[in-house]
Amino acid sequence: LESHARRIYAPVVNPAPAAAKALADRILSGHVQDGFSLRDNVYQNGWSRLSTAADAQMAADILESVGWVCGVEKPTPGRTAFIYYMNPKILERVSG
Round to whole Å and give the CA distance between 7 and 23: 20
Determine the 3-state secondary structure of 75 from DSSP.
coil
pTM for the complete prediction? Answer: 0.82
Round to whole Å and give the CA distance between 94 and 51: 23
Q: What is the pLDDT of residues 12-53, one digit of tens each?
A: 556 688 999 999 999 999 999 999 999 999 999 989 899 999
Round to whole Å and give the CA distance between 49 and 11: 9
Mean pLDDT, the chain, rounded, equals: 87
Domains by residue range for the chain, with CATH: 2-95 (1.10.10)
